[in-house]
Amino acid sequence: MKASTYGAESIKVLEGLEGIRKRPSMYIGSTGKTGLHHLIYEVVDNSVDEALGGYCKKIKITLNRDGSVTIEDDGRGIPVDKHPVYKVPAVELALTKLHAGGKFDKKSYMISGGLHGVGISVVNALSKKMVVEIKRDGNIYSQEYSKGKTKTKLKVTGKTKDTGTIITFWPDAEIFSTVEFDYKILETRFREITFLNPGLKIILEDEANKKKIEFFASGGLIEFVKWINKSKEIVHKPIYFRRETNETILDVAIQYNKSYQDNIFGFVNTINTIEGGTHVSGFKTALTRVINDYARSKGQLKNGNLSGDDVREGLTSIISVKIPEPQFEGQTKTKLGNSEIKGFVDSAVTSALSEFFEENPSIANKIVTKVSEAAKARLAAKKAKELIRRKNAFSLGGLPGKLADCSNKKSENTELYIVEGLSAAGTAKDARNKEIQAILPLKGKILNVEKSNPVRALSSEEIANMITAIGTGVGEQFDLNKLRYGKIIIMTDADVDGEHIKTLLLTFFFRFMPELIKKGHIYVALPPLYRVRKKKDYYVYSDNELKKFTERLSTTNVTRFKGLGEMDSSQLWETTMNPKTRKIKKIYIEDAVEADRIFSMLMGDDVQGRKDFISENAHNAELDV
């Protein structure tokens, strides 16, 4: 075979925005549902930046009947004059060149979420069509683009006294696996934005489904924590404070509830940093120190210190920072990296919270009582964990006796199947690839951790077995480096009980090991619902797929699989466990605020909220007789 040559001609240069279309996930995270919605966020973030500067009061997002999206604001309007160097209108430069924008110096925007100058050009590159209209200088300007390239010259189409920008785009179906937007996802995001920007109105409209909602929150972060905690029993009224220095603004809201989970949400220039960062780290350090100092000064802390886990149990907090030069880790801005912000937040929260506690002793005492109870529970949980470790010491290698481990010890290549029922687990053990696939059976439904304190949860044999098998630990002892399997796959029956067990397991992972979800380690197996037999066997995964199948094959010899145990090992391997042919669903957190609210409402004590949710969504349910 002739060796291929590698010379100068092998080096390719992708012109314009071709690189974005070639590797879209580098810029928007994925080409699935998450990436699709990120297109809207990139455009809306630019409008929010106008609001941060004091130039914009209203943003309207319309999901149009033809599949396009229109984002309109009443800001200053993107500049239309010709750029002195590139000799094209500034708007055309912003939409067709990477790293072109008005946010690299501090003259146009002191504080901004969109700092890379790639956002709107990425949206343009990944849209089959984009139309921009600008109201500015008494005129209405219009220009059309397609897949990142200019289709028409910028022209004046009318006169106006208003200012603002209107962008309409059609996502490219060649890029995205779906081009249908989810109204509920957008509703959640825009509600957050108005909480973070008091006085800003956002209107979301879905023309096809005739839905429209307005968001406006004059109360800001105080309203935000109340919204998050509305399904929970609260301990005190919200604590709120603001600190400003050297162009940096910190807003913090704190409210404890009587649950056992903590929820700390960080935002930078209104961007939801779902992986946290230095602002969240600084807050956690200060919170632990202030509560310890206060409890000790009042004689309420005799021995030792309250841990970070103790002081965060039942906590809901929003940390919002606005800074001139945020350094995000990655284009999708999920984590803040500015090292100086940790010290600033730590100092500001220490000062403000200490002052609040001294001026409001009744609230401070309620918080100290709450976290002291958490500390007692932690000690009891520690004893429970030690008991679990002693029990597991009698198993091979300290692992649960029920675990059928795999032979490969490299976590990135291995999978742990958490299987409902001993019978199904037995079939799975026979079906699996023993080198890379481990099986952990579950006996019935696990404890609902949303309603249980940590001591009871960690004392549960089934939960203890999962924690031991996974290897990372929980809480402050959680260490992702100790993860024993690259994929943790929940495999339950395709019936109501199976769905309930799946939900209980997801609740456990969300509350005790959220990093496993955030880092993409949690999956759900998708066993087939039916087997269709026509000369050979076909496996079908949904009722819609079955309808198409039976019409095409003109057959009715159909077998409904109610449980995993109804399949033999070869069928289970072929349909559900073979990495080459199976279907599995990756679990991810799109919006941590909404995820917390839903888990609290569905799995907690909010009976009325649960009834309302069921009534609202009953029409989406399918009857399985």
310 is catalytic: no
Give the single-character DSSP code of 78: -
Catalytic residue among 18, 144, 497, 515: 497
618 domain residue, yes or no: no
Q: What is the pTM of this model?
A: 0.73
Amino acid 17: pLDDT: 78
Which regions in the chain score pLDDT beneath 70?
1-16, 99-118, 330-333, 384-398, 553-556, 562, 618-625
Closest CA to 185 of 272, 306, 88, 314: 272
Based on the domain organization, do 121 and 203 belong to the same domain? yes
Amino acid 484: pLDDT: 94
Based on the domain organization, do 235 and 327 belong to the same domain? yes
The helix/strand/coil state of 177 is coil
Distance of CA 105 to the CA centre of its chain: 31
Strands 263-268 and 315-322: parallel
Catalytic residue among 73, 420, 594, 606: 420
133 is catalytic: no
The helix/strand/coil state of 533 is strand
Please report where in the chains the tokens 């179906």 appear, as a residue.
173
Based on the domain organization, do 54 and 94 belong to the same domain? yes
Q: Report how far residue 266's alpha carbon sits from residue 286's, in angstroms, rounded to the nearest whole number.
A: 15
Q: Report how far residue 168's alpha carbon sits from residue 49's, in angstroms, rounded to the nearest whole number.
A: 19
Diameter of the chain measured on Cα atoms: 82
Q: What is the mean pLDDT of the chain?
A: 85
Domain of 37: which CATH number? 3.30.565.10
Q: Report how far residue 113's alpha carbon sits from residue 332's, in angstroms, rounded to the nearest whole number.
A: 11
Based on the domain organization, do 241 and 211 belong to the same domain? no
The helix/strand/coil state of 190 is helix
Distance of CA 394 to the CA centre of its chain: 39
Domain of 570: which CATH number? 3.40.50.670
497 is catalytic: yes
How far, in Å, are 259, 596, 598, 613 from residue 233 at the CA level? 8, 14, 15, 19
- Residue where a domain terminates, one of 341, 375, 409: 375
Number of domains in the chain: 3
Q: Which stretches does DSSP call E strand in 84-138? A: 127-136
Amino acid 362: pLDDT: 95
Amino acid 596: pLDDT: 82
Based on the domain organization, do 39 and 115 belong to the same domain? yes
Catalytic residue among 144, 340, 495, 545: 495
Based on the domain organization, do 367 and 441 belong to the same domain? no
Based on the domain organization, do 319 and 352 belong to the same domain? yes
305 domain residue, yes or no: yes
Amino acid 34: pLDDT: 85
209 domain residue, yes or no: yes
How far, in Å, are 94, 98, 185, 415, 432 from residue 89 at the CA level? 9, 15, 35, 54, 61
532 domain residue, yes or no: no
User: What is the tens place of the pLDDT at every residue in 156-201?
Assistant: 999 999 999 999 999 999 999 999 999 988 998 999 999 999 999 9
Amino acid 3: pLDDT: 46
Based on the domain organization, do 457 and 580 belong to the same domain? yes
537 is catalytic: no
3-state helix, strand, coil in the chain (%, to 5): 40, 20, 40
Based on the domain organization, do 453 and 404 belong to the same domain? yes
Query: Which residue range forms the structural domain that includes residue 185?
Result: 18-215
Q: Report how far residue 31's alpha carbon sits from residue 347's, in angstroms, rounded to the nearest whole number.
A: 41
Based on the domain organization, do 61 and 125 belong to the same domain? yes
208 domain residue, yes or no: yes
452 domain residue, yes or no: yes
Identify the bridge partners of residue 215 per DSSP, sorted by sequence position.
202
Residue 265 near residue 359, CB atoms below 8 Å: no
Contacts (Cβ under 8 Å, ≥6 apart) of 232: 257, 258, 259, 316, 600, 604, 606
Catalytic residue among 92, 462, 493, 606: 493
